[in-house]
Structure 1
Amino acid sequence: MSIREVATHLDVQDKYQVQVSAAKTKQGMSLETATSKRGRLRTKFSSMEDEMAFLRAEIEYLKGRFPKSTQVMTSKAVRFQIIEDLRARHGLVCS
């Protein structure tokens, strides 16, 4: 059976999708789509107080209470330091 016939039989408009699937199957790869992690990371907390402290710290950060420059992008090291300062200030322990 040709690629075009398989595409018609499966009602796939793009025969390239069938070619890619056939190649993956021949190589022994899975045809399942890779899931991507998007959105907000979920953190598990040991208590309600820890979660509330985390949310307060997050809100404080988002409101911009820490000094920042509007012209220059904050470096990754500075952002991590801000997060550590927030954890220390609010007594946050993530598990």
Structure 2
Amino acid sequence: MSFKSYTEELKLRAVQLYLEGSTSYQAVAEKLGIRSCTQLKTWVRKYRDGEAFDTRKGSGGPMRGCSRTMFSSIEEERDYLKAQVDYLKKRYPNLLKETALVDSKTTKSLRN
């Protein structure tokens, strides 16, 4: 099922139809082509609480907060990546040892 957006007018109309009291969430959703009556319940709650319909949670995307570093040369990028590796080795010194231990146990179990 893909994401579907609804206009503010449709949301308001759906909420008003429900609040008139003559129909259920499911009936209003079916009448207006809203995929989920749960979505309608959310709009009704926001309307009653005085909130805007279009309040999205989160920052907008998984990479939204990460800044992209642009490099002027391959060497500059290489040096940057090497510095990151060195930092992570210092930050998590046991990680390489744990990985080697797991690898050796896996190798031994496969040989047997």
TM class by shorter chain equals 0.3 to 0.5
Larger Rg: 2
TM-score (norm 1): 0.46
TM-score (norm 2): 0.41
* Larger RCO (alpha carbons 8 Å, 6+ apart): 1
